[in-house]
Structure 1
Amino acid sequence: MAEFLYVAIDKNGKERKGSLEAENRERAYDKLKNEGMILLDLNEANALNKDIKINLGGKVKPRDLSVFCRQFVSMINAGVTIVDALNMLSDQTENKRLAEAIRQVRIDIEKGESMADAMVKHDTVFPSIMVSMTAAGEASGKLDTAFSRMADQFEKSAKLQAMIKKAMIYPIILFFVAIIVVAVFLIKVIPSYTDMFEQLGSELPGITRAVVAASDFVVNNFILILVVIAALVIGIKIFAKTENGKDFFGNLAIKVPVMGKLNVKTACSNFARTLSTLLYSGVPMIDALEIVSRVLSNSLYKKALLHAKEEVAKGVPLSEPIASSGLFPPMVSHMTKIGEETGDVEEMLNRLADYYDEEVQAATESLTAAMEPMIILVLAGIVGILVAAIMAPMVKMYGDLEHV
């Protein structure tokens, strides 16, 4: 397969530039013609003209997917066909990666594929929950309802993520400020005072000797320290990708003081919201549990939901494996059981998600309020020790002079 670069006019009269793979130039021409393109230029890619594709980001953000779903629903409800709606959305979507995926989905639909089958080819753009709900919406004839629910799901997911990130920005900034301050003191400030300390002739105070020793160690072993830190970071990342590492960090995430409760509440919110959305759209419970297990990042919750899927397949109510897992607060299993008894599990899960969204917001605000003064005190203590180490010899020297 060779890669070809093309310049063409699309159905809407807009000039498009891009690349495609084909066996030869004639096949590339036929592909573009079948897409309704008027070809202006077509050349085989080489080292000089080949596009360099750089992926600057990870997955498309939930906010981007939310906007796409809202706009798609609006167009469908206005009587626009799916193909035309996707064509317009591919032109006006700001995220280039999402725009290209939408364009490819539109092309595949024109070839006769279902929208879900077309979307599954772009699993790095469209998450599994979106593909499954699209399939359910197509099967039930309620594609607009499925996309409306997905828009709500992605909006609330984006809001939850933004809330947590906002809470962590301030502590992270202060943490790095503390590291920079300590590094500057140990590498630049303390060495400049070392000669003066030696000229004083008197014995240096203990705090000064300790800081000077720390400064000498950092200056003399700076490269070694960087190598050790880099090795630790790489080692941790490699370990985190192993099964034991995933379980270790998953357990750490829910057990660590202060942050543990917040992580549990966040996982409960994501679990309840995603499962409710899938069930409401007509996705079977067993399939929905597998999809939710892929949505959650904590490996312990993934395994718990996969086990719940197996139990549900045997006829066991979902509330029982949820309760026996020991990972979810009692309220989750209780609300799920009530939903099972009333025959309205998705509504109960939706209410549960709303409750935990509020809990996450309250916990995040409390965490931020508690961490700010704590970090400032720690930073002030570190700077205070370093300043005291510099000032102590001077104070001692003035005291000695007074007794002369």
Structure 2
Amino acid sequence: MSQFEYRGIDKTGEEMRGVINADSFRSAARQLEERQISVTSIDEVEADVLRTSGQKSTKISKDDVILIFFEISTMLRAGVSLKEAVEAQCDSSHSDAILNVFNLLLKELKSGTAFSQAVKKTQLKLPDYMYHLIESGEITGRLADSIEQGVNQMEYDLKIRSETKSALIYPSILVLSGVVAVAIMFLFVVPKFSSLLSSAEEMPTLAWLVITSGVWVNDNKLAVLIVTILFITGVGILLTQERFKIPLLNFLSKMPVIGGWLNESDLAVWSKMLGILLASKVPMLDALTLAAKSSRIPWRKARLAQVKSGVKSGLALSAALHREDVVSSTTVNLVKVGEKSGDLSTTLASVSNLYEQASKKRMQTLLSLIEPIAILVIGVLIGVIIIGIILAITSANDIAI
């Protein structure tokens, strides 16, 4: 299936131009005739050009990537061949960027390229496990199952990110509102009482600190703004640096409440990923390597690498996990049961569900603590400012009397 750029005149005499999908020039011309368009020119557009121009005009989101593989897996399950499934999508009403991906996949499949290699040539941003799932599906003949499991995992990853962002919206607004309130107090309220500094010879320390700070901030607004912007930018840059992220994540994972949430959500992703890979017939050592990459906490990722070494040396997975102390004793026992029953992938899926539920409860607990803590801190700051102003006023009145 190719794409053709055409120009023509419709039955009303209006000039038209656009792009149409067809197998050949004749087929494209026939489609245009059926639309009652008199063709003045028609040219084939190269797939590589389409891909480049499409990516410039439309960015492929993570939802689009999930949609691409979901539709392919659905058609494969319906008994359609891989080539026919991709070819059918070339005629769909997707965006230009997605159509360009399908066109490139079809071109590669027609040339005899394996689907896993064709996917890599699309340069889609996919997690590592997706490539390995596709390769394992090609080897085992269960491509539809492998793609569907990969899609489910990508949806799960996207869901976790979305839920976390949504849950943090209200606390973020609350904190931002508090910062704005304190800034307004320092910029517009406190400076109004600056004359009290000269009228009161002996002012309480708290009052002096509040009014002096307010006056200084008001006199150096530009400098304070620049320093604030530089600070926020610096923190943002530091958070992207591995040298900073590694100790930060390790530290946060050891903290009460937030540490439990990070650890349980991390183990939920790891156990789910390992279960999916094993269910797709990916070899144990390769599955352990890929699953370890899904872990976000550095110290756990290092220990999971040691778990792989233990399994490689002949230890059972449960024994290796127990030795490295990366999961709870309950998880070790469940893994042991899965090894004995020969259905480890199903057991790991159950473990993932347990950790996911525990993680959600931890997140709710954390959010329920953030809100009152933020209110308390903001209230204390505003209260200190108000008390400082009142003390300054009363001290000035005492002297006047």
Alignment of 1:244-255 (within 5 A): 244-255=243-254
Alignment of 1:122-271 (within 5 A): 122=122, 124-195=124-195, 197-198=196-197, 200-201=199-200, 203-219=202-218, 225=224, 244-271=243-270
How far 1:162 sits from its partner (Å)? 2.3
Measured in 2, the distance between the counterparts of 1:99 and 1:364 equals: 39
The 3 A distance-change label for structure 1 pair 343 and 124 is same
How far 1:226 sits from its partner (Å)? 5.4
The 3 A distance-change label for structure 1 pair 246 and 392 is closer
Q: Deviations over 1:250-283 (max 9, x none)?
A: 3113113321100000010000101101110111
How far 1:352 sits from its partner (Å)? 0.2
The 3 A distance-change label for structure 1 pair 216 and 361 is same
Measured in 2, the distance between the counterparts of 1:298 and 1:307 equals: 15
Measured in 2, the distance between the counterparts of 1:41 and 1:277 equals: 40
Q: Deviations over 1:109-156 (max 9, x none)?
A: 222111111122356522211111111112222112122222332333
Percent of matched pairs sharing the same residue? 22
**TM-score normalised to structure 2 length:** 0.77
* Residue segments in structure 2 that go unaligned for 5+ positions in a row: 7-16, 30-41
Amino acid at match of 2:147: F
Paired residue total: 367
The 3 A distance-change label for structure 1 pair 216 and 97 is farther
Match of 1:8 in 2: 5
Amino acid at match of 1:180: V
Measured in 1, the distance between the counterparts of 2:205 and 2:57 equals: 53
Instruction: Work out which of the two has the higher radius of gyration on C-alpha atoms and give 1 or 2.
Output: 2
Match of 1:107 in 2: 107
Measured in 1, the distance between the counterparts of 2:235 and 2:322 equals: 32
Measured in 1, the distance between the counterparts of 2:68 and 2:329 equals: 36
Deviates further, 259-268 or 317-326: 317-326
Match of 1:354 in 2: 353
Match of 1:20 in 2: none
Measured in 1, the distance between the counterparts of 2:295 and 2:161 equals: 13
* Residue segments in structure 1 that go unaligned for 5+ positions in a row: 1-5, 18-31
Match of 1:393 in 2: 392
**TM-score normalised to structure 1 length:** 0.77
Measured in 2, the distance between the counterparts of 1:192 and 1:151 equals: 60
Q: Deviations over 1:308-353 (max 9, x none)?
A: 2232222222223322333333333232222222222111100000
How far 1:209 sits from its partner (Å)? 1.1
Match of 2:339 in 1: 340
Secondary structure of the residue aligned to 1:218 is helix
Amino acid at match of 1:337: K
CA RMSD after TM alignment: 3.6
Secondary structure of the residue aligned to 1:112 is coil
Q: Deviations over 1:213-252 (max 9, x none)?
A: 3234434555555565566566666666666534312311
Secondary structure of the residue aligned to 2:70 is helix
Indicate conservation of the 8 Å contact 1:272/1:350, yes or no: yes
Match of 1:366 in 2: 365
Amino acid at match of 2:317: L
Secondary structure of the residue aligned to 1:267 is helix
Deviates further, 127-136 or 310-319: 310-319
Measured in 1, the distance between the counterparts of 2:80 and 2:211 equals: 73
Indicate conservation of the 8 Å contact 1:163/1:361, yes or no: no
Amino acid at match of 1:178: G
Match of 1:22 in 2: none
